[in-house]
């Protein structure tokens, strides 16, 4: 039932995404086919795929660490992506005179996506190195905090040296779906096609972890290997989404919560439903970001942060009542 509702919501929001433009709403898709096919359609599909990757990564993180407050960015991926972006922006400013402004701008546009992806994976890899693998969840979380602080500090230091990179980094930190095109959609779809089936295949290991590590080990589950695989899938999903849309906050954290409040499921359905919920949440935020103050746009990550944070505050207040 929940899956049917989410699919209907996704289709409805997709229609709105194809109609939402800088001059208001327009459903004359044939008359505006070039605009719809080149800009609105890839942005709409890309927002769905980004949200699905973040929702999947959030569900993996919460199941893996048995912590409902775990989110996809807790192992240093966000700070690593931010550092990669600042490095590219600062480098483009430093070499812009030598290369020429047009060449520097082209390299910057191409390099930001790759730098964010590599930086996110580097952050998670450094966390795994410090924790000496994924066998000890508490140590892994602490290592993620350390890596996040370290990489964020390096980003701030670079911004002191190259303050011209501040604006570009701010846009990345707020998150945006405005630059999604068909090549980005292909990358996002490929990452989801890899991460989701593998996560579903090993979802029973997350079910066993609910019973405790000793019980899971007694069932014959190779916990270190499964944890490493799940961390790798989480890193792949998060890095791909962040590289294409920036740091979109709260989608990965809130999506699994919304699913658990509606249905009680094992981790197999939870992973799939969280991905679908994340897709709906991000596309809804994207449509709203395009429409609230049109012809201008709001950063989609700003909307998800406000709405997601408000939802969590309401949830905490509900649970705190006697």
Q: What is the CATH number of the domain that holds 177?
A: 1.10.3470.10
Contact 64, 209 (CB under 8 A): yes
In sequence order, which residues have a C-beta less than 8 Å from that of residue 13 and are 6 or more positions away?
A: 280, 283, 284, 287
266 pLDDT more than 50: yes
Nearest Cα residue to 22 out of 295, 297, 289: 295
Cα 95 to Cα 157: distance, rounded to the nearest angstrom: 19
Q: Any idea what DSSP says for residue 76?
A: S
295 pLDDT more than 70: yes
Number of domain units in the chain: 1
Residue 304 within any structural domain of the chain: yes
Query: Which pLDDT score is estimated for 297?
Result: 85
Q: What value does the mean pLDDT of the chain take?
A: 85
Q: Which parts of the chain fold into alpha helices (H)?
A: 2-19, 33-35, 41-65, 77-99, 101-131, 137-161, 166-174, 182-201, 203-210, 213-218, 223-245, 251-262, 267-291, 300-320
| pLDDT tens per residue across span 99-123 | 344 444 544 555 778 888 999 999 9
Residue 68 within any structural domain of the chain: yes
List residues bridging with 21 in a β-sheet. Answer: 24
Residue 17 within any structural domain of the chain: no
Tokens standing for residue 176: 């945006």
Residue 9 within any structural domain of the chain: no
| Banded model confidence at residue 209, pLDDT cuts 50, 70, 90 | confident
Average pLDDT over residues 198-225: 81
Host domain of residue 210: 27-320
Residue 117 within any structural domain of the chain: yes
Residue 221 within any structural domain of the chain: yes
φ, ψ for residue 24, nearest 5 deg = 110, -160
List residues bridging with 25 in a β-sheet. Answer: 20
Average pLDDT over residues 141-154: 92
Cα 16 to Cα 315: distance, rounded to the nearest angstrom: 29
Query: Which pLDDT score is estimated for 152?
Result: 92
Residue 31 within any structural domain of the chain: yes
Residue 20 within any structural domain of the chain: no
């Amino acid at each position: 039932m929940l899956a049917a509702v989410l699919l209907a919501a996704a289709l409805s929001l997709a229609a709105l995404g194809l109609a939402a433009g800088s001059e208001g709403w327009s459903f004359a898709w044939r008359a505006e086919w070039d605009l719809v096919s080149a800009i609105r359609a890839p942005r709409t599909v890309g927002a769905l795929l980004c949200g699905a990757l973040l929702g999947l990564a959030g569900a993996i993180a919460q199941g893996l660490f048995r912590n409902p407050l775990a989110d996809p960015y807790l192992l240093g991926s966000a700070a690593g992506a931010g550092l990669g972006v600042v490095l590219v922006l600062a480098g483009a400013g430093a070499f812009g005179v030598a290369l020429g402004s047009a060449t520097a701008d082209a390299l910057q546009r191409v390099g930001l996506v790759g730098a964010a992806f590599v930086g996110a994976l580097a952050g998670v890899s450094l966390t795994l190195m410090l924790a000496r693998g994924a066998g000890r969840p508490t140590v892994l979380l602490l290592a993620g905090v350390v890596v996040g602080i370290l990489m964020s500090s390096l980003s701030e230091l670079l911004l002191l040296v190259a303050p011209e990179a501040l604006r570009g980094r701010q846009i990345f930190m707020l998150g945006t779906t405005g630059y999604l095109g068909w090549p980005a959609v292909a990358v996002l779809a490929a990452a989801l096609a890899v991460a989701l089936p593998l996560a579903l295949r090993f979802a029973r290991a997350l079910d066993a972890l609910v019973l405790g590590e000793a019980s899971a080990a007694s069932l014959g589950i190779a916990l270190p290997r499964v944890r490493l695989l799940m961390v790798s899938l989480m890193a792949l999903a998060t890095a791909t989404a962040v590289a294409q849309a920036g740091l979109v906050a709260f989608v990965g954290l809130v999506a699994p919560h919304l699913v658990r409040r509606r249905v009680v499921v094992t981790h197999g359905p939870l992973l799939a439903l969280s991905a679908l919920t994340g897709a709906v949440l991000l596309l809804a935020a994207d449509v709203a970001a395009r429409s609230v103050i049109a012809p201008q746009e709001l950063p989609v990550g700003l909307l998800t942060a406000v709405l997601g944070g408000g939802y969590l505050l309401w949830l905490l207040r509900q649970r705190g009542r006697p």
